[in-house]
Each structure stands twice: as structure tokens, then as C-alpha cells.
Amino acid sequence: MYFATLLTSPTTPSLDPALVESLRNAWGGGDANWLALDEAAEFALEVMPDNRWDVWSDLQNMGVDLVILPTEGRKKKMLLADMDSTMIQQECIDELADEAGVGERVKDITARAMNGELDFEGALTERVGLLKGLDESVIAKVLAERITLMPGGKALLGTMKANGAYAALVSGGFTAFTAKVAAELGFDENRANTLLTEGGKLNGDVGRPILGREAKVQALKEITDRLGLAHEDVMAVGDGANDLGMLELAGSGVALHAKPSVAAKCEIRINHGDLTALLYIQGYAKTDFA
């Protein structure tokens, strides 16, 4: 058994009941259950439709996301999340680079690294090198003035944790940012890279070992082992090439507003919804949100 979930942007909810009914009838699905008026609906399916991706593509043009997941194990016991462009709306290194006057150069490297065109570790050390000499106090300034949470994050964390889930934030970014974001959203733990400083200024290097793609996979393995959970119990979410390992290993790997090359390799693609989409696809209704 499966559940098909259709959802749209919470800021402009426009999910047409006629569209839901049409698809439900075409696929021989069960009765539609509205998880949020005009925003998210689901119905049961006995088999995975052959034309799933064709329909997905058509719905994308209408501003609607479609996710089909097995009924069994749908509600997850752990959330493993990337930070930059996933739990926050920015890439923290790009924001630091703007302050250092090397914004455009660093943004180009970031985009290519997240699209899988560059080696993550090499791209990170190159970008951090361009920040050499930046006053350490700029980190607090960027956190206060430039970093905003991704919509739906508080509901996602609050609801999953209220239902007994564990939450870990794993980032190829920096501990100075993950510590604040994790505390604000309620993550149980966070892992990231450490910007090295000398005399109150960034020295242009990052602590070793560098937390990249493999470290995110290792985090999933280590935390599930410690908690006595299976990889199937995990919902992972990210947007960049360095997230692919954990997205592929998790029971549900969500590509959220991801780079096209990343989304193409994921079964769950959210391009219109916000982080609350991760609750809808688990079967939570808006009235269940914490």
C-alpha cells in the first residue's frame, strides 16, 4: 500500500479539489483526505502508478508537488537535516563572503559545488581561504542581520519531536551557525565545520577533518546506531550534492528546492512546498502541527 500526497505553497495555497479527485479516480485511489485546506491532500493507493513521473512533471507546471510513499513506516523516528538553503534560506559562507568583499567569487564556487561540479572539500577550503583576515565579530553580525529560517522549520521540528522523533542538524557549513540554528529550532544535536581564527580574525582555514558528503552519511549511521534505529526510520532533507549520500541512505530522502542534478537522483522532490511538506508526506495534518 502507498499514500499519494499532493501539496502546494503555503503562502499561495491553490490545490484544486477537482485535480485531486481527477488523479484519485485515474489511479483508483481511496477517498481523499485533506491535510490542510487548499494546501495538502492525500489518498491511498494499492500499487505504484506506472506514469508517476509523467504526472509529477505535469503537476510541477501547476505549482503542485506529488510524493508517493509506502504506507508502512511512513512516520519517521529521526530527522537528519542539512542547514544552508534547507533549514535556513541562505548559504552562510556566501553571506560572510559578502561582508569580506568577495561575495560574487564565492557564490559562484558555492553554486558549482552544490551542483556537484566541484569537489566539496576543495571548494570549501578555497572559499574559506578568501575569508582570511575577516574579523571574527562579523560572524555574529551575519547571524543577526543576514540569516533567516526556512519557512515551516519550527513546525517540522516541533511536530516530529512531539511525536518522539530525534533531530540532528548536519552541515558542511560552520559550527558558529549550526549552534544558533539548532538551538532556535530545537535540534537535539548539530555537527559542522569549524572556522579557525587567530588574534580575533579568520585565518583562512577550517578545522580537520572536513565535514562533507561522507561525514553526513557517517552521522546518519552513528546516530541511528546509538539510538537503536534503522536507516529506514530516518527522514533526511537537503539541497546540495554533498547531501546525496545521506538522502540515498535514509528511509525517506527529501530534495528540498534542490539543485536539478540533485533532485534528479531523489524519489522525493519538494519544489513548491516549504518544510511543512515533510510533515504532510508523513501523514500529519495541519491540525497536528506543534
Q: What is the pLDDT of residues 113-158, one digit of tens each?
A: 888 898 889 999 999 999 999 999 999 999 999 999 999 999 999 9
Side-chain half-sphere of 186: how many Cα atoms within 13 Å?
Answer: 15
Task: Decide: pTM greater than 0.75.
Answer: yes
Please report the domains of the chain, with CATH numbers, ordered by start residue. Answer: 1-72 (3.30.70), 76-290 (3.40.50.1000)
Q: What angle do CA 206, 208, 214 make, to 5 degrees?
A: 110
Q: What is the pLDDT of residue 115?
A: 86
Q: What is the pLDDT of residue 116?
A: 87
Q: What is the mean pLDDT of each run of 10 residues along the chain (290 residues)?
A: 98 96 98 98 98 98 98 97 97 94 92 88 93 96 96 98 98 96 98 97 95 94 98 97 96 96 95 98 98
Q: What is the pLDDT of residue 51?
A: 98
CA 142, CA 98: separation in Å to the nearest integer?
10
Q: What is the pLDDT of residue 94?
A: 95
Catalytic residues: 82, 84
Residue (of 238, 284, 235, 243) closest to 7 by Cα position: 284
